[in-house]
Structure 1
Protein backbone atom coordinates (compact mmCIF):
# COMPACT_ATOMS: atom_id res chain seq x y z
CA UNK A 1 0.00 0.00 0.00
CA UNK A 2 2.78 2.44 0.87
CA UNK A 3 4.45 1.92 -2.48
CA UNK A 4 1.23 2.83 -4.28
CA UNK A 5 1.12 6.08 -2.30
CA UNK A 6 4.78 6.78 -3.15
CA UNK A 7 4.10 6.25 -6.85
CA UNK A 8 1.17 8.67 -6.62
CA UNK A 9 3.62 11.20 -5.19
CA UNK A 10 5.43 11.02 -8.56
CA UNK A 11 2.65 13.24 -9.92
CA UNK A 12 3.37 15.80 -7.21
CA UNK A 13 7.11 15.38 -7.81
CA UNK A 14 6.70 16.22 -11.51
CA UNK A 15 5.20 19.59 -10.56
CA UNK A 16 7.82 20.26 -7.87
CA UNK A 17 10.67 19.24 -10.17
CA UNK A 18 9.36 21.55 -12.87
CA UNK A 19 9.14 24.43 -10.44
CA UNK A 20 12.56 23.68 -8.92
CA UNK A 21 14.33 25.22 -11.91
CA UNK A 22 12.86 28.55 -10.76
CA UNK A 23 15.42 28.51 -7.94
CA UNK A 24 17.98 29.63 -10.51
CA UNK A 25 16.12 32.83 -11.49
CA UNK A 26 18.51 34.86 -9.40
CA UNK A 27 21.84 35.23 -11.26
CA UNK A 28 23.75 34.61 -8.00
CA UNK A 29 21.96 31.28 -7.44
CA UNK A 30 24.09 29.50 -10.02
CA UNK A 31 27.10 29.82 -7.68
CA UNK A 32 25.17 28.98 -4.49
CA UNK A 33 25.97 25.49 -3.19
CA UNK A 34 22.81 25.27 -1.08
CA UNK A 35 20.62 25.92 -4.10
CA UNK A 36 22.37 23.16 -6.03
CA UNK A 37 22.02 20.71 -3.13
CA UNK A 38 18.30 21.37 -2.83
CA UNK A 39 17.87 21.08 -6.59
CA UNK A 40 19.75 17.76 -6.75
CA UNK A 41 17.85 16.42 -3.74
CA UNK A 42 14.53 17.17 -5.43
CA UNK A 43 15.61 15.46 -8.63
CA UNK A 44 16.82 12.34 -6.78
CA UNK A 45 13.32 11.39 -5.57
CA UNK A 46 12.68 8.89 -8.41
CA UNK A 47 16.05 7.23 -7.70
CA UNK A 48 15.18 6.89 -4.01
CA UNK A 49 11.74 5.60 -4.89
CA UNK A 50 13.12 2.99 -7.28
CA UNK A 51 15.75 1.89 -4.74
CA UNK A 52 13.05 1.60 -2.05
CA UNK A 53 10.76 -0.45 -4.27
CA UNK A 54 13.50 -2.85 -5.37
CA UNK A 55 15.12 -3.11 -1.94
CA UNK A 56 11.77 -3.53 -0.22
CA UNK A 57 10.60 -6.36 -2.45
CA UNK A 58 13.96 -8.15 -2.39
CA UNK A 59 14.12 -8.10 1.40
CA UNK A 60 10.44 -9.06 1.63
CA UNK A 61 11.01 -12.08 -0.61
CA UNK A 62 13.89 -13.15 1.64
CA UNK A 63 11.52 -12.91 4.63
CA UNK A 64 13.38 -10.01 6.22
CA UNK A 65 10.25 -8.07 7.09
CA UNK A 66 11.87 -5.46 9.31
CA UNK A 67 14.45 -4.62 6.63
CA UNK A 68 11.63 -4.42 4.12
CA UNK A 69 9.86 -1.81 6.26
CA UNK A 70 13.08 0.19 6.54
CA UNK A 71 13.55 0.10 2.76
CA UNK A 72 9.95 1.27 2.33
CA UNK A 73 10.65 4.34 4.47
CA UNK A 74 13.34 5.74 2.14
CA UNK A 75 10.92 7.95 0.12
CA UNK A 76 9.82 9.54 3.38
CA UNK A 77 13.15 11.39 3.34
CA UNK A 78 11.58 13.56 0.62
CA UNK A 79 7.92 13.49 1.65
CA UNK A 80 8.20 14.40 5.35
CA UNK A 81 10.19 17.64 4.82
CA UNK A 82 7.79 18.71 2.08
CA UNK A 83 4.80 17.98 4.33
CA UNK A 84 6.47 19.84 7.19
CA UNK A 85 7.05 22.83 4.96
CA UNK A 86 3.43 22.82 3.83
CA UNK A 87 2.14 22.59 7.42
CA UNK A 88 4.47 25.41 8.46
CA UNK A 89 3.32 27.60 5.56
CA UNK A 90 -0.35 27.08 6.44
CA UNK A 91 0.22 27.84 10.13
CA UNK A 92 2.27 30.99 9.57
Structure 2
Protein backbone atom coordinates (compact mmCIF):
# COMPACT_ATOMS: atom_id res chain seq x y z
CA UNK A 1 0.00 0.00 0.00
CA UNK A 2 1.60 3.26 -1.08
CA UNK A 3 0.28 5.46 1.75
CA UNK A 4 1.54 3.36 4.64
CA UNK A 5 4.85 3.97 6.30
CA UNK A 6 6.82 0.95 7.46
CA UNK A 7 6.67 0.48 11.20
CA UNK A 8 9.95 0.45 13.04
CA UNK A 9 10.72 -2.18 15.59
CA UNK A 10 11.26 -0.79 19.03
CA UNK A 11 14.35 -2.19 20.62
CA UNK A 12 14.20 -2.63 24.36
CA UNK A 13 16.47 -0.26 26.21
CA UNK A 14 19.21 -1.96 28.21
CA UNK A 15 18.56 -2.18 31.94
CA UNK A 16 21.89 -0.74 33.04
CA UNK A 17 20.82 -0.18 36.66
CA UNK A 18 19.64 -3.78 36.83
CA UNK A 19 22.98 -4.98 35.48
CA UNK A 20 24.86 -2.96 38.09
CA UNK A 21 22.67 -4.32 40.88
CA UNK A 22 23.09 -7.91 39.65
CA UNK A 23 26.88 -7.56 39.67
CA UNK A 24 26.75 -6.00 43.13
CA UNK A 25 24.67 -8.89 44.47
CA UNK A 26 27.15 -11.30 42.92
CA UNK A 27 29.94 -9.44 44.73
CA UNK A 28 28.00 -9.60 48.00
CA UNK A 29 28.21 -13.39 47.72
CA UNK A 30 31.67 -13.73 46.19
CA UNK A 31 33.64 -11.42 48.49
CA UNK A 32 32.77 -13.21 51.76
CA UNK A 33 33.51 -16.59 50.15
CA UNK A 34 36.94 -15.35 49.08
CA UNK A 35 37.54 -13.88 52.54
CA UNK A 36 36.69 -17.21 54.15
CA UNK A 37 38.95 -19.00 51.66
CA UNK A 38 41.87 -16.83 52.73
CA UNK A 39 41.26 -17.41 56.43
CA UNK A 40 39.14 -14.49 57.59
CA UNK A 41 36.82 -15.27 60.47
CA UNK A 42 33.19 -16.11 59.82
CA UNK A 43 32.12 -13.02 61.77
CA UNK A 44 34.36 -10.79 59.63
CA UNK A 45 33.06 -12.28 56.39
CA UNK A 46 29.46 -11.95 57.60
CA UNK A 47 30.01 -8.32 58.56
CA UNK A 48 31.52 -7.64 55.16
CA UNK A 49 28.56 -9.30 53.43
CA UNK A 50 26.09 -7.21 55.44
CA UNK A 51 27.99 -4.00 54.70
CA UNK A 52 28.12 -4.76 50.98
CA UNK A 53 24.40 -5.62 51.00
CA UNK A 54 23.59 -2.28 52.67
CA UNK A 55 25.65 -0.34 50.13
CA UNK A 56 24.09 -2.33 47.27
CA UNK A 57 20.58 -1.58 48.55
CA UNK A 58 21.30 2.14 48.86
CA UNK A 59 22.82 2.26 45.36
CA UNK A 60 19.84 0.40 43.92
CA UNK A 61 17.44 2.93 45.44
CA UNK A 62 19.48 5.86 44.10
CA UNK A 63 19.81 4.32 40.63
CA UNK A 64 16.07 3.65 40.36
CA UNK A 65 15.27 7.16 41.54
CA UNK A 66 17.69 8.57 38.99
CA UNK A 67 16.07 6.54 36.21
CA UNK A 68 12.61 7.74 37.19
CA UNK A 69 13.72 11.37 37.25
CA UNK A 70 15.44 11.03 33.89
CA UNK A 71 12.34 9.45 32.33
CA UNK A 72 9.97 12.09 33.67
CA UNK A 73 9.11 14.78 31.11
CA UNK A 74 10.06 18.27 32.19
CA UNK A 75 7.56 21.07 31.85
CA UNK A 76 10.10 23.88 31.45
CA UNK A 77 12.68 22.24 29.22
CA UNK A 78 15.00 21.06 31.99
CA UNK A 79 18.16 22.77 33.08
CA UNK A 80 19.16 24.30 36.35
CA UNK A 81 16.99 27.06 37.76
CA UNK A 82 18.45 29.85 39.83
CA UNK A 83 16.92 32.74 41.69
CA UNK A 84 17.61 36.29 40.68
CA UNK A 85 20.72 37.16 38.77
CA UNK A 86 22.91 34.31 39.95
CA UNK A 87 25.10 33.18 37.05
CA UNK A 88 25.04 29.52 36.10
CA UNK A 89 28.38 27.87 35.35
Pick the TM interval, shorter chain.
0.3 to 0.5
Calculate the TM-score normalised by the size of structure 1.
0.38
TM value normalised by structure 2: 0.39
Higher helix share: 1
